[in-house]
Structure 1
Amino acid sequence: MQFFSTDFPLKTGTAQLDILSECVNWVTDSPHTKFAQEDLAQYVEQKDFKVSIKGESIDFEWVADTEYTISSFIYSKSDRNYKWVTVVNFLVLNHTDEVWVNIKTYCNSISAAAVVPPIKKPVLIIRLIDRFGGGRDGAITLSHEAFDLGQSDLDVASKLILGDCDNRLPIVYLSRSHNDYLPVIPQRLARKLCGLAHVFVEPNRQFSQALRPLVKSRNVYGGVIGVYWPNDGGVKTYRRTSEMSTAKDFEDVIFLDVSELLSKRIPLRRCTREAVVETKNRIAIDELKKRGSADLNEYSELFDQDLKAKEDEIETLKSEVSRLQGVSKRLRAQTPIQGGIRLSTGDEDDFFTNEIIGVVLDGLLDYRTRVHEGSRRQHIIDALITQNVIERESASIASKLKETLRGYREMTQKVRSKLQELGFEISEDSKHCRLLYQGDERYTFTLPKTGSDNRGGLNAGSDMIKSFL
């Protein structure tokens, strides 16, 4: 079974019947439904209903007490191979008019031979947010647009990263590379993740450096994307690799990962179909007590229904416990208990993946040649080298730099573009080109505008590799 689930707030004051109306419109606007608008218009009112047509059905229930109103809209569609079900639960808090929506979609295979297709994000999510607007998720207002942080928003960014915004949805933080490049298109990613996460974009690399001491180095940087999960759920980092040929490929990786993790999370306690049944039963039992009913059958039937709702809730909680055990296991695996080490990098950040640890390992390899054979130091160094096998991006960068400068004669547009891709900013004076590496003034190199011989470019490349890599 394929499964998708998320919950999100709508604008405060959004009416229950308006949400129901949009759910009905979503069904009838589909080119794959047999339901017509006139068939369902009569049901958009405050009462339960069930309606079906060949291969399709809609089941709506709602309940209200003094604190909240809960509604549950279930649409299912079957064909020869699959049964698709979308459940839309919406909760209105009566005293504040806050509104939360939980949307679940799943697909079951009817035919044993059928392969269940992947679940897509329901279009209904963006329809609801577009029509009614996003609500308050703690200190954040839900939006289908990315939030651009300004230079004065360091306090905001630190609260987002440290989990001080009381939000339920995760924070997707887009850091800038050393030339202020972003590996995704922020607005497209934000719309893709609308209803699943909040997307924030830092303004520049300097902002990242200023933010670092405020969050005890918990912020991602250098073009890395971090997904910060609320309630100290940790952070997961994403780097664009060579397998992701386009920004959209990278965005899809993040979307699928966030979707999977959200779908394993327990929904809001009262924003479920089980909560509708449980509240109805509680109200009915209270009514029987007020009437002084002694009919055991009435009580028995209601208690059975209530027990079933409780059992369903227990199964949901078991699933959440299982998910949290998996998260805990991963965190334990990352945390040294005994014999692990942590090194502070001070003011230095990675310019590329595994740069700093690569330098440390290179230093260990060099030092190993100078320790006594069979000594304790040699054994420790061997263990560190063996247990820390990393991908060496520096070798790839060095190879590309040599190839770019091989036979260099002049600063053509092609050479300029390739150098910029490798992290160089290029400025020109009358006779030379000044190369600034990763925006750091400590690392500059001068190239002539025109090369004097075939070896000049390779020699320059070798010098740059020694200085920068």
Structure 2
Amino acid sequence: MDAEKTMEQMVRMIFRYMNQQKRERLDTWDGIQMLQMRRHADQLLMDKRRIEENRKQTSKEKDEYWDEFVKAQTQVETLTEQNERLQNEIAILRARVDSMGERPLLYYGNEEDYYQGEILEFVRSALAEKLDRLPKEKDNPLRSADVLQDILSANECEEMQAQRQAELKRALKGYRTLTPDIRRTLIDIGFKITSDGKHHKLTYYDNDRYTVTMAKSGSDWRGGDNLFSEIKKRIY
């Protein structure tokens, strides 16, 4: 009996000692479950962040693709309009050539059009200037005036020179330095731009016969107007 009591007391002392000890979380089933739940929650949070990042990236790529699509669509529409316009011009020119027979009114020389209708505009301009200088008499019509007016009426054009001059004059207004807008305008109307020292060199359709010097910085508000006048004199 003494041995049993002694054993019982020892067991109680052991349990009392163990109950007094501080247990780590992993020493209990609840602690293990809590750790698993925390790991699972952390994984879910990481997955959520990854999904959100992928969503943002996908949205950004979608916007970029849409912008490219809109640009491409605009270019297609522009090219389609240009093609239709050129087809109409070709049809008109063919009709005029057919109506004139084998011998046209004028032949092309060695110079070529730098853009559609350029040479025709020069010819029309010369004829119009000649017509303006002729006397105006209602009761005494001039044969030369009637012929010139008839040629001008039969050879209409889009007057691209006037459009290009207006755009160039707008871009160069108050010129101080070569801005992206001015550079784009010059390139659009056919100029190649090279820089040397304090000046830019403008070469028209890469033809060294037609070059204009452009200061890198405008000295005063008249610089842009002077540059426009110089280009107009050399090119138009």
Note the C-alpha offset of 1:250.
Answer: 4.6
Quote the residue 1:362 is aligned against: 125
Q: Secondary structure at the match of 2:161?
A: helix
- Does 2:95 align with 1:347? no
Deviations 1:314-351 (A, max 9, x none): xxxxxxxxxxxxxx9x9555413469733222121122
CA separation in 1, counterparts of 2:152 and 2:229? 26
Quote the residue 2:53 is aligned against. none
SS at the partner of 1:408?
Answer: coil
Out of 168, 172, 181, the position equivalent to 1:401 is 168
In structure 2, runs of 5+ residues without a counterpart are 1-71, 85-90
Match of 2:190 among 423, 427, 432: 423
Q: Which residue matches 2:75? A: 247
Shift of 1:426: 0.7
Q: Distance in 2 between matches of 1:335 and 1:468?
A: 32
Aligned to 2:47: none
TM superposition score normalised by structure 2: 0.57
Partner SS, residue 335 of structure 1: helix
Q: 1:248 is matched by which residue type in structure 2?
A: V
- Residue 358 to residue 439, structure 1, CA distance change in 2 (3 Å): same
Deviation at 1:428, TM superposition (A): 0.7
Instruction: State the TM-score, normalized to the length of structure 1.
Output: 0.30
- State the identity as a percent: 29
1:270-310 deviation per Cα after TM superposition (whole angstroms, max 9, x unaligned): xxxxxxxxxxxxxxxxxxxxxxxxxxxxxxxxxxxxxxxxx
Q: Is the 8 A contact 2:131 2:145 kept in 1?
A: yes
2:212 matches 1:445:
yes
Does residue 1:390 correspond to 2:154, yes or no? no
**SS at the partner of 1:447?**
strand
Candidates 132, 155, 180, aligned match of 1:413: 180
Larger Rg: 2
**Residues 375-386 of structure 1 aligned to structure 2 (within 5 Å):** 375-386=142-153
Structure number with the higher strand fraction is 1
Q: Which residue of 1 aligns with 2:222?
A: 455
User: In the superposition, relative to structure 1, how do residues 418 and 371 fare at CA in structure 2: closer, same or farther (>3 Å)?
Assistant: closer
Partner of 1:161: none
- Corresponding residue SS for 2:114: coil
Give the Å deviation of 1:358.
1.1
The aligned amino acid for 2:179 is T
AA aligned to 1:431 is K
Query: Cα–Cα, structure 1 residues 379 and 416, in superposed 2: closer, same or farther, change >3 Å?
Result: same
The within-5 A match list for 1:90-169 is none
Question: 8 Å contact 2:175–2:218 — kept in the other structure?
Answer: yes
Are 2:97 and 2:104, in contact at CA under 8 Å, matched by a contact in 1? no
Unaligned runs of 5+ in 1: 1-243, 257-327
C-alpha displacement of 1:459: 1.3
Check if 1:467 corresponds to 2:198.
no
What's the C-alpha RMSD, in Å, of the aligned pairs? 3.3
